[in-house]
């Protein structure tokens, strides 16, 4: 392997880590939601809403306020789904799609207003990158790990915390009980609707942050369609990852690896047409989803309507 080959794969892997961050955030949030027994099909639209909110707020409030605003917007949409499904009795699939369309439509509307004022091309503060000298100086892996966004490292920290929390902590066990046997959990005094509402709010907030990771994590701009279905990829990643935070981040990295290859193809560094590499991440997600479909590790009450006894 030549030095040029090494540099190429370093760029691909560094890009994969960066591109995995939005999907990993959304997938982590959806893992929490689905472990509680609910499906949030509004995740793609929520990512779009978070992406626009972040770039808009970053223009006058900085990246910290932008992340907070994106998370808040995502949480609001998550609660909206909770009110529709858990309180109003709406179908989870229909409510999720409706919220996704609503969030995406609002983002498009406000973006057109914003762009019409000539503000969409203003420079914004991006989430800072973390340059760790000890990592930077490592052979081979140094250029891959060093220089990643603070949000990428924060995502990794969230996953590390989420693993033991979901498996062993009291909130994690309550969430599992609600996702597996909501009626039995209610008999033990657990407020199923409150737990699922909180899970949807957290999942929505993380999806909003996932959108923000695109616009102020590395792009520094917003255009319609830039999320490109990554919310739906996150839904697939949750299944591929067996409803596990570690599985979610692994699945996100698989998708992002091929996404990064597609970006390198646009630079003319690969033999196949650019369009082939652009389709490859979605094709590989479908292939991996089929290959890992055996066995049912989903929460037993996932997607099932819940009506509390009165």
DSSP letters along 130-156, please? E--HHHHTSTTTHHHHTTEEHHHHHHH
The tokens for 147 are 């220089």
Q: Are 30 and 207 in contact (CB under 8 A)?
A: yes
Cα separation, 39 vs 115, whole angstroms: 34
- Each of the 310 residues of the chain gets a pLDDT tens digit; together they read 676 767 778 888 999 999 999 999 999 999 999 999 999 999 999 999 999 999 999 988 999 999 999 999 999 999 999 999 999 989 999 999 999 999 999 999 999 988 777 666 667 889 999 887 777 767 778 788 888 999 999 999 999 999 999 999 999 999 999 999 999 999 999 999 999 999 999 999 999 999 999 999 988 889 888 998 999 999 999 998 889 999 999 999 988 998 888 777 766 556 667 677 778 778 877 887 777 766 668 899 998 888 876 5
Domains annotated on the chain, with CATH: 9-127+150-291 (1.10.3470)
C-beta of residue 227 within 8 angstroms of C-beta of residue 51:
yes
Q: H helices then E strands: how many in the chain?
A: 12, 2
């Amino acid at each position: 392997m030549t030095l040029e080959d090494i540099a190429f794969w370093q760029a691909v892997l560094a890009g994969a880590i960066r591109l995995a961050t939005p999907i990993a955030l959304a997938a982590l949030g959806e893992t929490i939601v689905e472990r509680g027994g609910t499906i949030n099909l509004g995740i793609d639209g929520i990512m779009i809403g978070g992406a626009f909110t972040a770039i808009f707020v970053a223009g006058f409030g900085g990246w910290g306020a932008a992340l907070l605003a994106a998370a808040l917007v995502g949480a609001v949409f998550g609660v909206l789904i909770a009110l529709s499904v858990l309180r109003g009795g709406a179908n989870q699939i229909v409510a999720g799609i409706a919220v996704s369309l609503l969030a995406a439509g609002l983002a498009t509307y406000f973006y057109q207003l914003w762009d019409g004022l000539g503000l969409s091309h203003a420079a914004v503060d991006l989430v800072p990158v973390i340059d760790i000298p000890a990592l930077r100086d490592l052979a081979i892996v140094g250029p891959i790990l060093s220089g990643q966004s603070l949000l990428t490292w924060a995502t990794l920290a969230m996953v590390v915390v989420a693993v033991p929390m979901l498996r062993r902590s009291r909130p994690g066990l309550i969430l599992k009980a609600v996702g597996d046997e909501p009626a039995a959990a209610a008999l033990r005094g657990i407020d199923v609707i409150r737990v699922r509402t909180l899970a949807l709010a957290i999942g929505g907030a993380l999806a909003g942050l996932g959108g923000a990771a695109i616009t102020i994590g590395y792009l520094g701009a917003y255009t319609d369609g830039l999320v490109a279905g990554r919310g739906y990829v996150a839904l697939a990643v949750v299944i591929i990852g067996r409803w596990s935070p570690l599985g979610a981040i692994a699945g996100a990295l698989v998708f992002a690896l091929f996404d990064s290859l597609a970006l390198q193809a646009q630079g003319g560094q690969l033999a196949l047409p650019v369009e082939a590499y652009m389709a490859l991440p979605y094709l590989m997600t479908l292939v991996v989803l089929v290959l890992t479909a055996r066995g049912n590790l989903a929460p037993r009450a996932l997607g099932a309507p819940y009506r509390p006894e009165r």
